[in-house]
A and B are shown apart, each in its own frame.
Chain A
Amino acid sequence: MFEQIASSVFTTAFLASVLRITTPILFAALASVISERAGVANIGLEGIMMLGALFGVIFSAWTQSAFVGVVGAGLVGVLIGLMMGWFSLKLGTDIILSGIAVNMLGAGGTIFLLFMFTGLRGNSAALDSRMIPALEMHFLEGIPVLGAFARQSILTYVALLCVFLVFVLLYKTPLGLNIRAVGENPHAADSVGMSVRKVKYIALGISGFLAGLGGAYMSMFYSRGFTTDMVAGRGFIALAAQAMGRGEPLGAMLSSLLFGAADALSHHMQGTALPSQLVATIPYVITIIGLSLYAARTIGKVKRARKARAQTATNA
């Protein structure tokens, strides 16, 4: 049985499916990186992705343009992000509560919105929506590893590019410096005349945009059209990926790939001798193991730092 699994895992096809599955998680994980670094816990990613998935389909059906659909989904994400900011920064609600509200909106509200805009229930199968084209690179086919990139969605490349862009934003621009300063010590930022609120709004907006793209990918490439609950916890897995990646874009990408791989593995192991229910738990078990390792590491680090400080104190 293990041979069977191994032979299916070490293939280009498996790698290709990892990339395919990772893309939406990666978008959301990057979204989480941006907001987290600005000191805002955006737990509404799941809901934003759902709304992005819905509006991507609706906009693309209306305009018959996949591009408009994707950008529209991103802009809906921006709107939701800013709305969360308005609730928590202006009206003073807890950001976690606004996140939960957005998630509920994403779960129930999308069904209502779908019906309102299209008269359809449950899914958008009857809607003539566009799909995001794949970038056909036939010359890569047959080459080990690289072959996995032969037929990926354009958005997958955009996601990989975003890892770089988010890195540049955070570490190479004044805005990124402000985001990091606001997230770590808002008083310091405030004392030099920075508008903490404005920086957080911007971060939430960017965060929403990325999550919206992740949603569009779900309904415009991963599946054909919108169905209820189609994001299926990816927004939360992305939060875990961000935490495991320690808030770094590259780290978030690696953890997203890990979760993507776990998910792909569970798909590939369907039909083996292992019970399918057990196989389906793999991604979630990996999430828990990953987070435990991450927590253990963090605790260890804090302990060491405390020890070092105690050491210097006694030496002084």
Chain B
Amino acid sequence: MRGITKIYPNGIAANQAVDFSVRAGEIHALMGENGAGKSTLMKILMGLEQPQEGEIFLGGEKVSFASPQAAIAKGVGMVHQHFMLVPSLTVAENMVLGIEPKKHGVFFDRAGAVALTKEYSERYGLPLDPNAKIADISVGMKQKVEILKALVRGAKILILDEPTAVLTTRETEELFKQLVILKEQGFTVIFISHKLWEVKQITDRITIMRGGKSMGVHTTAGISEQEISRLMVGRDVMLSLEKEKAEPGGSVLNVRGLNYTNQWGNRMLKDVSFTVRAGEILGVAGVEGNGQSDLVRILWGFESPDSGSVAFEGAEILGEPQSWLRELGISYIPEDRMVYGAAGGASIEENLISDRAWGKRLNKGPFFNAGAIRKECDDLIKRFKVLARSRGQRVGMLSGGNIQKVVVAREFSAGPKLIIAEQPTRGIDVGATEFIRARMVELSRQGAGVLLVSADLAEVMQLSDSLIVMYGGEVVAYFEDTSALTDAEMGEYMLGLSKQSAEELGRAAHD
């Protein structure tokens, strides 16, 4: 792939003149943080997206893929992170979907499908029961089905999108063995990952991406983990932000010994403890998928942990309904603003008052006090600079930045003592980003505690007064003062190369 440039309609340049080349018969790692452009590049290779510029060559021949089918026909196959399988069908049936063998011209040849599955499963050392239903087999097995599905369709190049994210350690080891077998048989594997040790273990070469650009190709043996981490993690643009030094007060939120196993049996949180103090922003940094979102889901009562406690101003809040959390003075800016943050089909006004619609202030007897609501909303729209035609406009019609401003306006104006902000500026424009960050700092300086969870390294490092880093479900580092932190140092913790001692980590609790 040469000179690939892809700019999405919303103006985000996901790929900028990216060169990417893979040799036949190698396992090639494609590394980078979330949003670095790995997925976009692979979508282009799979024919799911079309680039504005650039060319693709396959074995010396110039190709262009208008659809995934075209890519499959040329021998490019992808194993998606979210499996593309039909649960109630058997392994063999899924294997031949769309290319069903026939019997007597009209009937589905089940025996043929089973035989085909057996043949491929034996040839490539991926043991499977062809007659098992997908719904009944493990995640690791499903992945094997996906790999075989690509092979049956004649794939020579296999793209694996973060294949280990859903696997247990043993399944991961098994997968690696199988990938090596495939490599020995001449297949090419593109391995998307941001886990250093995996990449070190099985890949031959590495392409690292950052901010939509390629940071070069390296042989795995010839590059150190520190070097990879330095190339992967780094800040590109610093937005200016004036921030007074924090003067942390007493503790607002105490999280102690949280352990959590998700529904697939993976341990997502391991003994997580920290404290958010009044008047400070505590950042939670880490590559996505290392337990941060699980942590937030537990704090906001969407999931219950296996063990541990969460106390707000000294009182346990685990298991309390969200309405009570709000009553106590906790605000939440969710990662997925269109699912948990706002109702797209409702008006700005309705979204703004949704947490306070029962309050005396906005009601007159059994009816809304239209005047009070109007005043409140106009005031919020003005204060939070929401760009909209009127307060009656549907939230879904606004731009991402303005939707987020509506969410933030509601959450910040509720007089919170604690704000849980999850990826508060993801995917929104620079202006809205700066505005939201400034308000967050302002609230913290007025005495609120802020827990800022963000995969955007620049954001956490710049905004946080103190910081924890999560890796593999654990808190691996705590920095009480972020001013002296370097990207390189952060990178080592985020990618699991270093871990602080128990004593150092214990300081996060502020007991």
Q: A313-B261, A313-B262 are in contact. Are A173 and B108 (CB under 8 A)?
A: yes
Q: A173-B108, A192-B97 are in contact. Are A181 and B86 (CB under 8 A)?
A: yes
A175-194: which residues lie under 8 A (CB-CB) from chain B? Answer: 176-178, 180-181, 184-185, 187-189, 191-194
**25 contacting pairs across A/B (C-beta < 8 A):** A171-B108, A172-B110, A174-B102, A176-B108, A177-B93, A177-B108, A181-B89, A184-B86, A184-B89, A185-B86, A187-B84, A188-B84, A188-B94, A189-B97, A189-B98, A191-B84, A192-B84, A192-B153, A193-B68, A193-B69, A313-B262, A313-B264, A313-B265, A316-B261, A316-B266
Binary B-proximity of A292-315 (CB < 8 A = 1, otherwise 0) = 000000000000000001101111
Q: Inside 8 A of A168's CB, which chain B residues have their CB?
A: 107
- Complex-state Cα separation, A191 to B99, whole angstroms: 12
What is the distance, in angstroms, from A251's C-beta to the closest C-beta of chain B?
15
- Interface on chain A toward B: helix, strand, loop, or mixed SS? helix
> Knowing that A177-B97, A191-B80 are A-B contacts, what are 4 other residue pairs whose CB atoms are under 8 Å apart, sorted by A's residue number?
A180-B88, A188-B97, A189-B86, A313-B261
B144-165: which residues lie under 8 A (CB-CB) from chain A? Answer: 149, 153
B263 near A: Cβ within 8 Å?
yes
B85 near A: Cβ within 8 Å?
yes
| Cβ-closest chain B residue relative to A309 | B263
A157-181: which residues lie under 8 A (CB-CB) from chain B? Answer: 168, 171-174, 176-178, 180-181
In the complex, the answer to whether A172 meets B89 with C-beta atoms within 8 Å is no
Q: Which residues of B contact A (CB under 8 A)?
A: 68-69, 72, 80, 83-89, 93-94, 97-100, 102, 106-108, 110, 149, 153, 168, 261-266, 306
B108 CB contact (under 8 Å) in A174, A189, A194:
A174
Give the number of A-B contacts (CB < 8 Å). 76
Q: Inside 8 A of A310's CB, which chain B residues have their CB?
A: 263
B263 CB contact (under 8 Å) in A173, A180, A184, A313:
A313
- Complex-state Cα separation, A313 to B266, whole angstroms: 8
Q: Which has the most chain A C-beta neighbours within 10 Å: B83, B88, B108?
A: B108
| Cβ-closest chain B residue relative to A174 | B100
- Complex-state Cα separation, A189 to B265, whole angstroms: 28
In the complex, the answer to whether B89 meets A192 with C-beta atoms within 8 Å is no
- Complex-state Cα separation, A188 to B146, whole angstroms: 11
Q: A172-B108, A188-B97, A192-B149 are in contact. Are A180 and B265 (CB under 8 A)?
A: no
| Cβ-closest chain A residue relative to B88 | A184
Q: Inside 8 A of A313's CB, which chain B residues have their CB?
A: 261-265
What is the distance, in angstroms, from B259's C-beta to the closest C-beta of chain A?
12
| Cβ-closest chain B residue relative to A314 | B261
A188 CB contact (under 8 Å) in B72, B86, B107, B266:
B86
- Complex-state Cα separation, A194 to B262, whole angstroms: 33
- Complex-state Cα separation, A238 to B35, whole angstroms: 50
Q: Inside 8 A of B107's CB, which chain A residues have their CB?
A: 168, 172-173
Q: A173-B107, A313-B261 are in contact. Are A194 and B97 (CB under 8 A)?
A: yes
- Complex-state Cα separation, A313 to B44, whole angstroms: 37
Q: Inside 8 A of B265's CB, which chain A residues have their CB?
A: 312-313, 315-316
Binary B-proximity of A119-144 (CB < 8 A = 1, otherwise 0) = 00000000000000000000000000
B97 CB contact (under 8 Å) in A172, A178, A312, A314:
A178
Q: Inside 8 A of A184's CB, which chain B residues have their CB?
A: 86-89
Q: Inside 8 A of B262's CB, which chain A residues have their CB?
A: 313
Q: Inside 8 A of A171's CB, which chain B residues have their CB?
A: 108
A191 CB contact (under 8 Å) in B68, B88, B100, B261:
B68
In the complex, the answer to whether A185 meets B108 with C-beta atoms within 8 Å is no
- Complex-state Cα separation, A177 to B106, whole angstroms: 12
- Complex-state Cα separation, A171 to B90, whole angstroms: 12
A192 CB contact (under 8 Å) in B98, B102, B108:
B98
Q: Inside 8 A of A181's CB, which chain B residues have their CB?
A: 86, 89, 93-94, 97
Q: Inside 8 A of B110's CB, which chain A residues have their CB?
A: 172
- Complex-state Cα separation, A185 to B69, whole angstroms: 18
- Complex-state Cα separation, A312 to B168, whole angstroms: 14
- Complex-state Cα separation, A168 to B107, whole angstroms: 9
- Complex-state Cα separation, A185 to B94, whole angstroms: 11
- Complex-state Cα separation, A178 to B306, whole angstroms: 41
Q: Inside 8 A of B266's CB, which chain A residues have their CB?
A: 316
List of 8 A-B pairs having minimum Cβ-Cβ separation, nearest first: A316-B265, A174-B100, A192-B98, A191-B84, A188-B84, A193-B69, A194-B98, A181-B86
In the complex, the answer to whether A185 meets B85 with C-beta atoms within 8 Å is yes
Q: Inside 8 A of A180's CB, which chain B residues have their CB?
A: 86, 88-89
Q: Inside 8 A of B263's CB, which chain A residues have their CB?
A: 309-310, 313
Q: Which has the most chain B C-beta neighbours within 10 Å: A172, A178, A193, A313?
A: A193
In the complex, the answer to whether B102 meets A185 with C-beta atoms within 8 Å is no
- Complex-state Cα separation, A168 to B486, whole angstroms: 66
- Complex-state Cα separation, A188 to B86, whole angstroms: 7
- Complex-state Cα separation, A125 to B441, whole angstroms: 82
- Complex-state Cα separation, A177 to B80, whole angstroms: 22
- Complex-state Cα separation, A193 to B78, whole angstroms: 13
A193 CB contact (under 8 Å) in B83, B88, B98, B106:
B98
- Complex-state Cα separation, A172 to B94, whole angstroms: 15
- Complex-state Cα separation, A187 to B83, whole angstroms: 9
Q: Inside 8 A of B99's CB, which chain A residues have their CB?
A: 192
What is the distance, in angstroms, from B93's C-beta to the closest C-beta of chain A?
6
- Complex-state Cα separation, A26 to B89, whole angstroms: 26
- Complex-state Cα separation, A314 to B305, whole angstroms: 11
What is the distance, in angstroms, from B155's C-beta to the closest C-beta of chain A?
12
Q: A177-B100, A193-B98 are in contact. Are A188 and B85 (CB under 8 A)?
A: yes
A188-238: which residues lie under 8 A (CB-CB) from chain B? Answer: 188-189, 191-194
- Complex-state Cα separation, A189 to B266, whole angstroms: 29
- Complex-state Cα separation, A194 to B69, whole angstroms: 9
Q: Which has the most chain A C-beta neighbours within 10 Å: B80, B98, B107?
A: B98
In the complex, the answer to whether A177 meets B261 with C-beta atoms within 8 Å is no
What is the distance, in angstroms, from B148's C-beta to the closest C-beta of chain A?
13
Q: Inside 8 A of A189's CB, which chain B residues have their CB?
A: 86, 97-98
Q: Inside 8 A of B83's CB, which chain A residues have their CB?
A: 188
- Complex-state Cα separation, A185 to B85, whole angstroms: 7
- Complex-state Cα separation, A194 to B96, whole angstroms: 11
What is the distance, in angstroms, from A37's C-beta to the closest C-beta of chain B?
10
In the complex, the answer to whether B84 meets A185 with C-beta atoms within 8 Å is yes
